[in-house]
Amino acid sequence: MITHPAFDVRPWAIHENSLHLDALARTESIFALSNGHIGVRGNLDEGEPYGIPGTYLNSVHELRPLPYAEAGYGYPESGETIINVTNGKLIRLLVDDEPLDVRYGTLHSHERTLDLRAGTLTRRLEWSSPAGAGVRVCAQRLVSFTQRAIMAIRYEVEPIDAPIRLVVQSELVANESLPGAVGDPRAATMPESPLIAEENATTAEGAVLVHLTKSSELRVGAGMRHEVTGPDALHVETDGAEDVARMTVTARLAPGERLTLVKYVAYGWSARRSRPAVHDQVVGALTAAHTTGWDGLLREQREFLGEFWSGADVEVDGDAEVQQAVRFALFHVLQAGARGECRPIPAKGLTGPGYDGHTFWDSEMFVLPVLTYTSPEAAADALRWRHRTLPIAEERAAQLGRAGAAFPWRTIAGRECSGYWPASTAAFHVNADIAHAVLRYVEATGDREFERDTGLPLLVATARLWRSLGHHDVEGRFRIDGVTGPDEYSALADNNVYTNLLARQNLIGAAEAAVRHPDRARDLDVSTEDIAEWRNAAGAMYIPYDDRLGVHPASEGFTDHAVWDFATTTAADYPLLLHYPYFELYRKQVVKQADLVLAMHVCPDAFSTGQKARNFAYYEPLTVRDSSLSACTQAVLAAEVGQLDLAYDYLGEAALMDLDDLEHNTRDGVHIASLAGTWVALVSGLGGMRVRSGQLSFAPRLPPNLARLRLRLRFLDRRLEVDIQADTATYRLLDGEPLTVVHHGTPLRLGADPVSRPIPPVSAGPRPRQPPGRAPARRGPGD
């Protein structure tokens, strides 16, 4: 664990009370702002020092070749990498000709606050130059949720105790120099100077730069406009070159006087529109923001977040760290998807370059559940992006000799970007994950129009893939052989339980949706024979079970493998993927991340209560959690089988993944799926939330260290609150028509009045052990 000594624990903010240059890259990710379209890292306003400069537009990427030592049919030919676009955050300050650089002079104080209700990052500092001239700076920035193309900054400077001459330079800069790679395959390979200048239109009011990416040929526009207030004798001028536009303000300030600069920055991009069109888009967005004004943008931001929190907040009584962490997590998950508008949700959101900016199955299985029950339109938009890329997925399936669609393991624009086929091409479960997200969204919203227009084509295409990928064996069982499940330490296995269960759900869901929308099904060439085949395959789906051990193997034969030699594996050997060949991992019983355990979470009715307890106990000693995706799932099942203290420990790990930098790579961006997992661990774990046959079900239980857990969520156009205490749960319908929910198996009808019910006790067996040195950190009073 690497704690940040300057972070305070606050319920509605992340507050840093002093600057630590050795943690700069990490805090740039923590303090990143985004709306799903624009993402800006929390770099210092002056630009230097920095960890990783970063300004991103969702889906703006560059192409790079994927070299292979030996060619193979079906290997992806090129990859996609997110790029750092034009930086509009820069506001440089010179004090009596000396630049404000916190590495020089004297930094008297420095604090930053990410306000989770206001949606702003505020920075305050006092600094004296090497010559002794002192200034006080207050800078506040936001990325607007309501005006999708806009970032805005208010930068205010005043002397501390003596007159000073100030020069403020507000800039747009493209093709910034970036730090080199860190040697971790999870980090990005960032292209140098990916932008070709097409236009620099600099005027007295501001500037617009338009660039074209070299290989992907995406056109990117960035513009800035300013409001400057201060002493009467202000001098303002603008200038620019190919990759730079600059407005310079010069002033003399006496003590008590202030110079205030409001900077509006707009972004736009397109793969098709012309340079003038992109230019005009940026100018239009700037004009709208300028008309709204800084105070108007702040008001809109707070109103947007107020509406979000009214149906999403989670209150935790008894653990201030987890309370802060879950709101931080919800804020970043919202930022990742709120205004993506038919674009993907990358694994790092738009907070850093990690994983090259790719989206994975994490989005559908970890992030979209949170958005579905807190901001459902954002979840729908992410699935509409999958629908947009359906032709590419169908082309990929045909290339692989399969029917339907084969969605990519990792991508930005829809094409497969992984050259390691055992963990990419073979990880077909991503297709069932997308179908699962469709079914979950429709179940939670009742949006039949979405189901007809977006959901059904996705369900049909993925069902066709499963029917062509699997086969009936001599015993009549439907098998899916040679695939990779969620656990990346097992590959090319037969009948992965998670994959087969999700494929079964996919096939049934496609058949049922096709029957509900017969006209649309005809448009998709779905026949009655297709529907019958899908139902037949689902009914015959093979789910392996080890009668000898009384557990489900993750895949057929998994429990026959030798167990990994944990006794000789040291702490320095983790994560295993960086220290051992995959060949060795694939042959052993060792689990990178929850696989069979995840299946028990997302397909709860496929397992008996006893099977869940035995399965969980069996896989705990094998799971090393070399992935940030694992802890939240283990928290959910630990809670379900009654291991409440262990569930609480796993909750803490998921919650503090980035705030405590547990995997030592938050510098490359926050872990959006693990952040989402904080909500999952609380709501699905301790809250016991499941949706069965269209009905919300809860089985809440709290560990001894938590006094209370209060959840808010959205379901079928209603807002619901669940208030959980040690021995009682109270359900309230905050708005909407009456609703029936289930509490520990008992239906409850919710109307105008809250309904309370006792929480039955639970007994659990001995606490399962984990691999040596891989147990989650214990949480308790004072921990």
- Tokens coding 354: 């990690």
- Least Cα distance to 50 among 177, 154, 155 occurs for 177
Say what the pLDDT of residue 622 is. Answer: 98
Contacts of residue 479, defined as CB under 8 A and 6 or more positions apart, other chains included, come to 470, 471, 472, 473, 494, 495, 542
Task: Choose, from 62, 443, 451, 488, the residue flagged as catalytic.
Answer: 488
- Report helix, strand or coil for 67: coil
- Report helix, strand or coil for 323: helix
Decide: 10 and 331 in contact? Cβ < 8 Å. no
**E strands in 116-175:** 120-128, 134-143, 150-159, 164-173
Angle at 348 between CA 347 and CA 353, to 5 degrees: 115
Report the greatest alpha carbon distance in the chain. 90
Say what the pLDDT of residue 781 is. Answer: 52
Torsion of CA 289, 294, 298, 300, to 10 degrees: -30
- Tokens coding 556: 């057929």
Torsion of CA 721, 724, 730, 735, to 10 degrees: 0
| Total residues belonging to the chain | 783
Sign, CA dihedral 199-202-208-214, equals: positive
Say what the pLDDT of residue 1 is. Answer: 45
- Tokens coding 600: 């028990």
How many Å separate Cα 371 from the centre of its chain?
10
Decide: 58 and 192 in contact? Cβ < 8 Å. no
| 488 noted as active-site residue | yes
Sign, CA dihedral 324-325-328-329, equals: negative
- Tokens coding 628: 């940030």
How many CB atoms are closer than 10 A to CB 399?
A: 13
Angle at 260 between CA 255 and CA 266, to 5 degrees: 165
Supply φ then ψ for residue 421, to 5 degrees. Answer: -65, -30
Say what the pLDDT of residue 184 is. Answer: 55
- Tokens coding 637: 């099942």
- Report helix, strand or coil for 268: strand
Decide: 137 and 100 in contact? Cβ < 8 Å. yes
Say what the pLDDT of residue 416 is. Answer: 96
* Residue ranges, the chain, pLDDT below 70: 1-5, 180-190, 780-783
